[in-house]
Amino acid sequence: MSKKFWLMLCAGALAIHAGASMAQAAVSTPPPAANTPENTVRQTILRLVPKAQIDQITPAPMPGFYQVIASGHLVYVSTDGKYVMNGDLIDGVKGVSLTDDAWASYRKTELAKVPVTDRIVFAPKNPKYTVTVFTDVTCPYCRVLHQQIDAFNKEGIAVQYLAWPRSGVIGEDGKPTQTYNEMVSIWCASDRNEAFTAAKKGHDPKPATCNNPVKDQFDLGLKLGVTGTPAVYAEDGTQIGGYLSPAEMLEAVQEHSTTGG
User: Could you read off the pLDDT of 143-165 as tens digits, one per residue?
Assistant: 999 999 999 999 999 999 999 99
The active-site residue out of 10, 55, 107, 139 is 139
For the question of residue 204 being annotated catalytic, the response is no
Residues 220, 140, single domain; the answer is yes
The number of folded domains in the chain is 2
Which neighbouring-strand residues pair with 94?
none
pLDDT confidence of residue 114: 98
Helix residue ranges, H only, 130-245 = 140-147, 149-154, 178-187, 192-200, 214-223
For the question of residue 142 being annotated catalytic, the response is yes
Q: Is residue 107 part of a domain?
A: no
Q: Is residue 110 part of a domain?
A: no
- Domain of 40, in residue numbers: 3-89
CATH number at residue 78: 3.10.450.70
Residues 30, 121, single domain; the answer is no
Whether 196 contacts 120, CB under 8 Å? yes
The rounded distance, in Å, linking the Cα atoms of 72 and 221 is 8
Residues 180, 77, single domain; the answer is no
Q: Is residue 105 part of a domain?
A: no
Q: How many CA atoms lie within 13 A of 117 on its CB side?
A: 2
The active-site residue out of 119, 143, 166, 219 is 166
Q: Is residue 99 part of a domain?
A: no
Domain boundary residue among 73, 89, 105? 89
The active-site residue out of 42, 119, 136, 219 is 136
Cα 227-54-165 angle, rounded to 5 deg:
25
CATH number at residue 217: 3.40.30.10
Whether 234 contacts 257, CB under 8 Å? yes
Q: Is residue 151 part of a domain?
A: yes
pLDDT confidence of residue 31: 60
User: Cβ contacts of residue 56 below 8 Å, gap of 6+?
Assistant: 28, 29, 67, 68, 69, 106
- Measure Cα distances from 16 to 13, 78, 162, 204, 230 in Å: 5, 28, 18, 25, 17
Residues 243, 132, single domain; the answer is yes
For the question of residue 10 being annotated catalytic, the response is no
The rounded distance, in Å, linking the Cα atoms of 226 and 207 is 27
pLDDT confidence of residue 48: 94
Residues 205, 123, single domain; the answer is yes
The active-site residue out of 55, 142, 188, 219 is 142
- Measure Cα distances from 18 to 10, 13, 51, 68, 96 in Å: 12, 9, 9, 20, 35
The rounded distance, in Å, linking the Cα atoms of 42 and 28 is 12
Residue stretches of the chain with pLDDT short of 50 = 1-3, 5-6, 10-28
Whether 164 contacts 226, CB under 8 Å? yes
